[in-house]
Amino acid sequence: MPAPDLTADELRDQLEQARHEYGELLERGLSLDLTRGKPSPAQLDLAAGLLALSLDEDYTAADGSDCRNYGGLQGLPELRTIFSEILQVPVPQLVAADNSSLALMHDCIVHAMLSPLPGAEGRWVDEAVAFVCPVPGYDRHFTLCERFGIEMIPVPMTAGGPDMDAVEDLVRRDRRIKGMWCVPKHSNPDGTCYSDETVARLAAMEAAADGFRIFWDNAYAVHDLVDQLVEVGDLLAACAETGHADRAFVFGSTSKVTLAGAGVAFFGSSPANVAWFLEHDAIRTIGPDKLNQLRHVRFLGDAQGVYDHMAGHRKLVGPKFAAVERILSEQLNGTGLATWSRPQGGYFVSLVVDAGCARAVVQKAAEAGIALTPAGATHPHGVDPEDRYIRIAPTFPGQEDLETAIGGLATCVRLVGWGRRRHSGGTEEAR
């Protein structure tokens, strides 16, 4: 983001204009929320038929079992068949659970803490544990690590996924590294999709730790913003082909497909890992909500039914992302104050401002009634060392509110950015 070649007078004028617009923003008394990547009410309405669906007193799964009763720990085979293609996991190696994939990630860590993973000599609780964390990344992944005392080692993202030279070096030489977080498609928050080369290198790389696992959080597997769907390589198959069959833990859910509060979450992995997971999960639960799973089967029908359903989401969400791009371009192009991602899917846009400015921008926005995810949430422990990243979540607000919020955010970027540059004399060195 090179600074434009402005004279002192031009810089003063830009700052005064931003101050004037910010004053007008304060007078509006806004109360807008861009903090979390939630489906809008209109998106949730697309799945209204799921709740209205009558089972017609037919509670029987394809295998003849009564979905009202206990059992079926692995979930309905017919639902796993629908999502097997989507998540790139063979049906026998896929588990359908309750609504939260985050809960499945939590449980996998707990089980690994208390019971050795297949191929591992000991329990994580008995040794130092670290995870590789691509940044910018998903704050709830980092929160899980904090909860269990797992050290987080950040590596930067590139256009094709995490910096694999850095990842391979770390994983090869550090026995403490037991896991790695990955959001392979439309990553949170920058929208990156992992390249085929990245997937191949993740599968093939040597790991110093026994029982090393990649937590493959495929949260946005079908959440494309373009009609030509993005395809990401099959990590589970690649791991098996390179002799690391147990390496991948695959997660997904329908939280942003059907109903966030009443969806279905999935865990997929090697046969050995699935057996390990089910053995320990059987202590926690006697089975998932199979009636909800049966509703999903009858509502979605098959994998194509999922893609057809997501086309409805695309029509609702696409204009919002387009508005973010348009407004940021109108207000910030040519200023040198910010860059931003242009995702092909997912739920977020990553805004990158001048070093040392993100927290101030978020604070100014909050004072104007525009709530954003805290600056730093994209990094371990909530600390962005350069204070540059701001996550924008466009999906939940209505179109008008969103456009107001993004316009106000851009005003805050200009207010803080021009102020910082004028204070430093406008030089790159002083910043």
- CA 243 vs. chain centroid, Å, equals 28
Distance CA 141, CA 194 (A): 18
Q: Residues 337-353: what's their mean pLDDT?
A: 98
Distance CA 396, CA 35 (A): 9
Owner of token pair 């590294």: 177
Residue 25's alpha-carbon distances to 16, 320, 373, in angstroms, are: 14, 21, 19
Give the chain's end-to-end CA distance (angstroms, integer): 12
The confidence band for 423, taking pLDDT boundaries of 50, 70 and 90, is confident
Count CB neighbours of 11 within 10 A. 18
Question: If 0-12 CB within 10 Å is exposed, 13-18 middle and 19+ buried, where does residue 105 land?
Answer: buried
Joined tokens for residue 259? 């109903």
Residue 396's alpha-carbon distances to 41, 138, 317, 347, 376, in angstroms, are: 8, 18, 9, 10, 21
Q: What are phi and psi of 210, to 5 degrees?
A: -75, 145
The confidence band for 2, taking pLDDT boundaries of 50, 70 and 90, is low
Helix (H) or strand (E) holding 369: none
Residue 429 is predicted with a pLDDT of 32
pLDDT digits (tens, 9 = 90+) for 199-254: 999 999 999 999 999 999 999 999 999 988 899 999 999 999 999 999 999 999 99
pLDDT digits (tens, 9 = 90+) for 282-340: 999 999 999 999 999 999 999 999 999 999 999 999 999 999 999 999 999 999 999 99
Count CB neighbours of 31 within 10 A. 9
Distance CA 90, CA 111 (A): 23
pTM value is 0.95
181 touches 138 (CB < 8 A): yes
DSSP-derived 3-state class of residue 52 = helix
183 touches 343 (CB < 8 A): no
DSSP code at position 69: S
392 touches 406 (CB < 8 A): yes
Residue 148 is predicted with a pLDDT of 98
Count CB neighbours of 289 within 10 A. 16
Identify residue 281 by its one-letter amino acid code.
D
Residue 227 is predicted with a pLDDT of 86
DSSP code at position 349: E
| Closest to 188 measured CA to CA, from 314, 341, 328 | 341
Joined tokens for residue 197? 């080369």
Q: Residues 353-365: what's their mean pLDDT?
A: 98
The confidence band for 55, taking pLDDT boundaries of 50, 70 and 90, is confident
Identify residue 161 by its one-letter amino acid code.
G
